[in-house]
Amino acid sequence: MTEIERHDYDVVVIGAGGAGLRAAIEARELGKRTAVVCKSLFGKAHTVMAEGGIAASMGNVNSRDSWQVHFRDTMRGGKFLNSWRMAELHAKEAPQRVWELETYGALFDRTRDGKISQRNFGGHEYPRLAHVGDRTGLELIRTLQQKIVSLQQEDFAQHGDYEGNLKVFAECTITDLLKDADAVSGAFGYWRETGRFIRFDAPAVVLATGGIGKAFKVTSNSWEYTGDGHALALRCGAALINMEFVQFHPTGMVWPPSVKGILVTESVRGDGGVLRNSENKRFMFDYIPEVFSNQYATSEQEADGWYDDPDSNRRPPELLPRDEVARAINSEVKAGRGSPHGGVFLDVSTRLPAEVIKKRLPSMYHQFKELADVDITAGPMEVGPTCHYVMGGVEVDPDTAAASVRGLFAAGEVAGGMHGSNRLGGNSLSDLLVFGRRAGLGAATYVDSLGGFRPSVREADVEAAAQRAISPFRTGTDSVGAENPYLLQQDLQQTMNDLVGIIRRAGEMELALKKLDELRRRVQHVVVEGHRQFNPGWHLALDLRNMLAVSECVARAALERTESRGGHTRDDYPMMDPEWRHALLICTQHTNGPEGSVRVERKEQVPMRADLVELFELDELKKYFTAGEIPGGTD
């Protein structure tokens, strides 16, 4: 075998989105030699696409906001399945993390008194999202990218080398994690440009690879979202939790077909946009669930009054958490009250003057004008649900972001727990910063705890990883049964979309599992053409393995959970069941089954700390908890 490029680091961060960059900044500031590895160019990670904002209870617009209120909203949004400790840390630390961005050079939109402006969003009681128009993710990633550059400039000034302590390996894909006994010892991957292999020897690896949305046909997610980090963790022995919870964002574009799934930011509704069906009815009033009946307006008049006077009016139901709105849209379309292209209407044109729309929602204006020939200042948009975010991910220790395998850490969308069964808008970007930093800190502390010791990489593992990676270049053998990676991906996406999508049924999920089995067999015969230099067919062939693993987790866990909650809706079990609230489903890889086969087990949640329980009214808790769990009340 030819020599494989090798690098030694203290910490290797896989992923250059918000979570990965924040982790890398922390690790480097704590004196660790750090590498950041990412599949795309630097600055192009998914985070760049985030639109609406970052949730943090700074109280700049409504001074009644506080971490306690944010915590409550987050738990409600996740239907109390969240890791309460993560939700607590997140709510407490988000403001500091946002303010810190200003010290890196970020320029958020301002309030009149010169503070960071905050906007309304679904499920957030007060205006809470720091934002820059509707391009907040771009601001976030550019700011972190520029902070990385600033650290590199410091290193250059001191040692004459920009990349000595902190280096970005862009367009480099990790395909396997390496282990020494029970601890992580490195990572293996390839350069997309040349197809050459590369290995990192490092005692600590932070997964920050984002989500899995590319396993579904209609999605707001990019080609990168193949669940690599989820699958890497699974293969290396770590556990995934909450994989049955997939967020379908209520408002994706539905027309033209080529843009189906592209996101329409929730800010449209936060800033006053309303949803109507083909009968011109604001249908969301018919879909306010019992658990939220106290917080949402029941008439158009009250709802409209809320924008100016939130203290004496309740919020418009368009701003219910995403799972509720997505289901409502789905029902309207099914009942035959949809728009011409199978969505519903989202209208801001009759609600705000054209200039205000262009100013507050510039990229939405641009996107519809250029891609759909629709002027959103003059007429409604057509929208429908699109796969957007996975709540499930690597099970981590809330304080250190450590996974169950030593040396492995996870933060951002790839980590599970924080959002419970459903994520509130804006809570991801803040999650990236809070837990990205904690993961960097956790990794650095772990490396310190090792003293000088370094777990070692086994050559045989590197060899095996290399073999696996080139296997799709089968030559000659069985070109008859050769499978095309693009078609396999389409089949997988269709399966997940149709059978494990927004509304689920036992029979369909069982069928999905059968199909996944079949797909796994077909993937064995995938064959790619050409050579190893920048070959997207090959890259996809390797990603398929990960997509299959995460799809199986989603389908198995979804079949297991016999209730409906947040991003998991079952036609055959339409109610939320308090007995399921305190249960988590854990996915691990079967140690002696075929590769990629997944085991699902039930695990009890840690009961919420008493002082946090006290933040809620007893009446509200009764809607979610079993009688035995309610403090002082067994009625």
Partner 1 sequence: MGNQRRFQVWRGDTHGGNLVDFDAEVNEGEVVLDVIHRLQATKAPDLAVRWNCKAGKCGSCSAEINGRPRLMCMTRMSMLPPQLPVTVTPLRTFPVIRDLVTDVAYNYQKAREVRSFMPPKGVQPGEYRMQQVDVERSQEFRKCIECFLCQNTCHVIRDHEENETNFSGPRFLMRIAELDMHPLDAADEEGVDRKRSAQDEHGLGFCNITKCCTEVCPEHIKITDNALIPMKERVADIRFDPLIRLFRRKRG
Ligand X SMILES: Cc1cc2nc3c(=O)[nH]c(=O)nc-3n(C[C@H](O)[C@H](O)[C@H](O)COP(=O)(O)OP(=O)(O)OC[C@H]3O[C@@H](n4cnc5c(N)ncnc54)[C@H](O)[C@@H]3O)c2cc1C
Q: Looking at the annotation, which residues are catalytic?
A: 249, 269
For position 529 contacting partner 1 by CB under 8 A, the verdict is: yes
Is 110 a binding residue for partner 1 by CB under 8 A? The answer is yes
Query: Given the complex with partner 1, which of 368 and 573 has the nearer CB atom?
Result: 368
Does 53 engage in binding with ligand X (CB under 6 A)?
yes
Residue 473 contacts partner 1 per CB under 8 A: no
Minimum gap (Å) between residue 422 Cβ and partner 1: 24
Q: Which residues 6+ apart lie within 8 Å of 584 measured at CB? A: 81, 241, 242, 602, 603, 604, 605
Q: ∠ CA(33), CA(184), CA(443), 5° rounding?
A: 45
List binders of ligand X among 296-325 (CB under 6 A): none
Size of the site for ligand X (CB under 6 A): 43
Stretch that binds partner 1, among 249-257, 394-402, 404-412, 574-582 (CB under 8 A): 249-257
> What is the closest distance, in whole angstroms, from the C-beta atom of residue 41 to ligand X in the complex?
9
530 binds partner 1 (CB under 8 A): yes
Site for ligand X in 364-403 (CB under 6 A): 389
Residue 560 CB, nearest distance to partner 1 (Å)? 34
Residues 29-58 that bind partner 1 (CB under 8 A): 40-44, 46, 48-49, 58
Q: Where are the alpha helices (DSSP H) in 236-394?
A: 267-270, 300-306, 322-334, 354-360, 362-372
| Count of alpha carbons within 13 angstroms of residue 268, beta-carbon side | 28
Which string of x and - marks every residue 7-46 that binds ligand X (by CB under 6 A)? -------xxxxxxx----------------xxxx----xx
Instruction: Name the minimum Å distance from CB 253 to ligand X.
Output: 11
3-state helix, strand, coil in the chain (%, to 5): 40, 20, 40
Interface residue with ligand X among 394, 429, 540, 586 (CB under 6 A) is 429
**Position 505 contacts partner 1 (CB under 8 A):** no
Q: How many Å apart are CA 13 and CA 27, to the nearest integer?
A: 9
Choices 94-102, 307-315, 454-462, 607-615 (CB under 8 A): range interacting with partner 1: 94-102
Shortest distance in whole angstroms from residue 427 CB to partner 1: 20
Q: Which amino acid is at 9?
A: Y
Provide the sign of the torsion angle of the four alpha carbons 573, 577, 581, 582, taken in this order: negative
**Separation CA 245–CA 419 (nearest Å):** 10
Residue 266 C-beta: closest distance to partner 1, Å: 16
Among 65, 73, 224, 324, contact with ligand X (rule: CB under 6 A): 224
Q: What is the largest CA-CA distance in the chain?
A: 74
Is position 174 an interface residue for ligand X (rule: CB under 6 A)?
yes
DSSP H or E segment with residue 213: none
Alpha-carbon distance of 232 to 328, in angstroms, equals 36
**237 lies in the site for ligand X, by CB under 6 A:** no
- Look up residue 244 and give its two tokens: 């049955």
Question: Binding marks (x or -) toward ligand X, 178..197, rule CB under 6 A?
Answer: -----------x--------
Question: Contact 161/73 with Cβ under 8 angstroms?
Answer: no
Assess 103 for contact with partner 1 (CB under 8 A): yes
In whole angstroms, what separates CA 402 from the centre of its chain? 18
What tokens were used for 20?
Answer: 């990965």
**Residue 253 · residue 383 · CB < 8 Å:** yes
**Which residue from 27, 33, 52, 70 is in contact with ligand X, where contact means CB under 6 A?**
52
Asked if residue 283 binds partner 1 (CB under 8 A), the reply is no
When asked if residue 210 is in the footprint of ligand X (CB under 6 A), the reply is yes
**Nearest alpha-carbon partner for 606 in 124, 87, 123, 56:** 87
474-to-72, 471, 517, 520 alpha-carbon distances in Å: 54, 6, 22, 17
- In 450-505, alpha helices (H): 459-470, 485-499
Binding mask 115-154 for partner 1 (x = CB under 8 A): x-x--------------xx-x--xx--x---xx-xx-xx-
Mutual orientation of helices 485-499 and 536-560 as an angle, nearest 10°?
Answer: 20
The per-residue DSSP string of 104-145 comes to TT----B-TTSSB-EE--TT-SS--EE-STT-HHHHHHHHHH
Closest approach of ligand X to the CB of residue 432, in Å = 5
- Residue pointed to by tokens 């907040």: 136
- DSSP per residue over 308-323, as a string? T-TTTSPBPGGGS-HH
Q: Which of 10, 26, 51, 563 binds ligand X (CB under 6 A)?
A: 51
495, HSE (Cβ side, Cα atoms, 13 Å)? 25
Shortest separation between residue 36's beta carbon and ligand X, angstroms: 8
Is residue 412 involved in binding ligand X (CB under 6 A)?
A: yes
Closest CB to ligand X among 135 and 515?
A: 135
Which parts of this chain interact with ligand X (CB under 6 A)? 14-20, 37-40, 45-47, 49-53, 136-137, 173-174, 189, 208-210, 220-221, 224, 228-229, 263, 389, 412-414, 425-429, 432
Which parts of this chain interact with partner 1 (CB under 8 A)? 40-44, 46, 48-49, 58, 95-96, 99-100, 102-105, 107-110, 113-115, 117, 132-133, 135, 138-139, 142, 146-147, 149-150, 152-153, 162, 193, 222-224, 255-259, 262-263, 363, 366-367, 370-372, 484-487, 490, 528-531, 533-538
